[in-house]
Amino acid sequence: MTPNTDLNIPLFERAKALIPGGVNSPVRAFKAVGGTPRFVKRAQGAYFWDANDQRFIDYIGSWGPMILGHGHPAVLEAVQSAALEGFSFGAPTEREVELAEEILGLVPSMEMIRLVSSGTEAGMSAIRLARGATGRSKFIKFEGCYHGHADSLLVKAGSGLATFGNATSAGVPPEVVQHTIVLEYNNVAQLEEAFALHGKELACVMIEPIAGNMNLVRASVPFMKRCRELCTEHGALLVLDEVMTGFRVALGSAQSVYAKSIPGFKPDLTVLGKVIGGGMPLAAFGGPRAIMEHLAPLGGVYQAGTLSGNPVATACGLATLREIKKPGFFDALSARTRSLVDGLAAAAAAEGVPFSTDCEGGMFGFFLMPELPQNYAQVLQTDSARFNQLFHGLLDRGVYIAPALYEAGFVSAAHTADDIAATVAAAREVFKTL
């Protein structure tokens, strides 16, 4: 494709004149990797087509929601019939109850749930609820975990545990982040120190159990166990942000994966999004009845939304969850994802490229370094120039991975063994050039 004939270029120019950076969410702009973003015309199964009608094997799947692939017939059917019945009412519907029943049936740590429209909203509301339920202000988050763009969450660590974090966005006043304590992921000693200093003032610890916003880095079992124990000892809530991992890494979500190694493990609050909407704007947060009853209209913690529990979105989410609940779904998805990362690792080894990789269910990550990193500082040591070369090499060969090295990848049920083989072959060609 020469620049003269690439139809993505004039579209990007038009977009940039009207929309800051030409995009409605920053990472779509290809700023990290350079080049022109692909404007998607349509998608089906494991593929999407751009403005040039070039086909790509899609490994972002809308950043996680499209676990069945695009245009799954049962989901399309559900969305079409829901749309005919009405788009939005601002009054309760039976489908909200059905979706609540479905989710609570699969994630038993939650007894009650509230539906919202985005992961940001869900995470922000979970923190307000944790603060309201405990009567405390401070909370802990970890460097490299993303919980949406609420003000109090856009923070990086200060110079020491006793100092406040620094806002990572302009427009966030220091006063707004003064209660956010930012710690290193997987650092048990630092976590213990923070609890020793602030334990009685902590409303919650918020964590991505398998972090997908610094590529893919898992919380180690001892670290997660310590998070749980310290929260319990100090009366703080453990909030698992499963917006990405929920119904993506296992049917019971990441908490079920940790419960295999930590007997009885459960979070106090769970934040969900992405897969539960199947590609529609839908997210949620939930937990035990005694905590959830602090929410308005029962309790004093205010939370609301015009489009919350939207009837078309709930139809999409319900149809998606009903498909992934079918016997064998996650076994097949996990095997397919495993075959991709094993294939990539073998191709990298054959070409002498340092490579490490991990996956869980339909989520994967890889690093152009020999050892898997354990925290954000280690992730930052990745050679971004090499990653960008890999990204563009794959893109030229019709394989679309996230346009930034800090993002996990996603395999859907629609990806075939042939798609995986084609991806691995493309990667091997690119590895040769690195």
Ligand X SMILES: *Cc1c(COP(=O)(O)O)cnc(C)c1O
Cα angle 279, 281, 286 (rounded to 5 degrees) comes to: 105
The residues in 199-238 that bind ligand X, with binding defined as CB under 6 A, are 208, 212-213
Q: Which of 243, 291, 363, 404 is close enough to bind ligand X by CB under 6 A?
A: 243
CA distance 173 to 171: 6
The yes-or-no answer on residue 241 being catalytic is yes
Which CB, 348 or 405, lies closer to ligand X?
405
- The one-character DSSP state at 109 is T
Which CB, 33 or 284, lies closer to ligand X?
284
Both tokens of residue 376? 């954000």
Of 47, 50, 141, 146, catalytic: 146
The yes-or-no answer on residue 146 being catalytic is yes
The yes-or-no answer on residue 406 being catalytic is no
Both tokens of residue 80? 């079409």
**# of chain residues touching ligand X (CB under 6 A):** 15
CA distance 249 to 246: 7
Both tokens of residue 72? 């799954």
Which CB, 50 or 208, lies closer to ligand X?
208
Minimal distance, residue 322 CB to ligand X, in Å: 22
Q: Which of 45, 65, 123, 309 is close enough to bind ligand X by CB under 6 A?
A: 123
Site string for ligand X, 270-309 (x = CB under 6 A): ---x---------x--------------------------
Minimal distance, residue 161 CB to ligand X, in Å: 24
Strand spans (E) along 96-201: 112-116, 138-142, 155-156, 166-167, 180-183
- Taking CB under 6 A as the rule, does residue 407 contact ligand X? no
CA distance 152 to 182: 11
Per DSSP, the three-state class of 41 is strand
Both tokens of residue 55? 């086909």
409-410, strands of its sheet edge to edge: 356-360, 363-367, 409-410
Q: Which of 8, 36, 109, 118 is close enough to bind ligand X by CB under 6 A?
A: 118
Catalytic residue set: 146, 241, 274
Residues forming contacts to ligand X in the complex (CB under 6 A) are 118-120, 123, 146-148, 208, 212-213, 241, 243-244, 273, 283
